[in-house]
Amino acid sequence: MSGWEVARVARDIAAGVDFYIVTGWGREIEGEIPASVSVSGVLAKPIDLSEVARIAALAVANRDAARAEDVTAGEPRPGSAVR
């Protein structure tokens, strides 16, 4: 299974999750990502930890915003107690 196939299957399993490719070939492959592989981005090695922290903070903010929308829409969040 190629890395592209792994990315495709991961997206099928968890469609709403941001998915990044980490590779030593990051600069070279950015323009070659197949259209059938929906990734959020490519991180080139060596990894810039400040970029990872930025991506993680953005993911948390997006998750929190989605939860807030669910609450204001009156829908219980997954894992929350329904009262």
Is the domain of 4 the same as that of 41?
yes
Is the domain of 56 the same as that of 19?
no
Q: What are phi and psi of 39, to 5 degrees?
A: -110, 155
80 vs 83: CA distance, rounded Å: 9
Is 54 within a domain?
yes
Is 59 within a domain?
yes
What pLDDT does 39 receive?
78
Residue 52 structural domain? 48-77
Is the domain of 5 the same as that of 36?
yes
Is 82 within a domain?
no
Is the domain of 4 the same as that of 42?
yes
What pLDDT does 52 receive?
93
Q: Which residues pair with 43 in a beta bridge?
A: 22
From first to last of its 83 residues, the chain has per-residue pLDDT tens of 777 788 888 888 988 777 888 888 766 666 666 676 777 888 888 999 999 999 999 988 988 888 888 777 665 555 555 44
Is 83 within a domain?
no
What pLDDT does 51 receive?
93
Is 17 within a domain?
yes
Is 12 within a domain?
yes
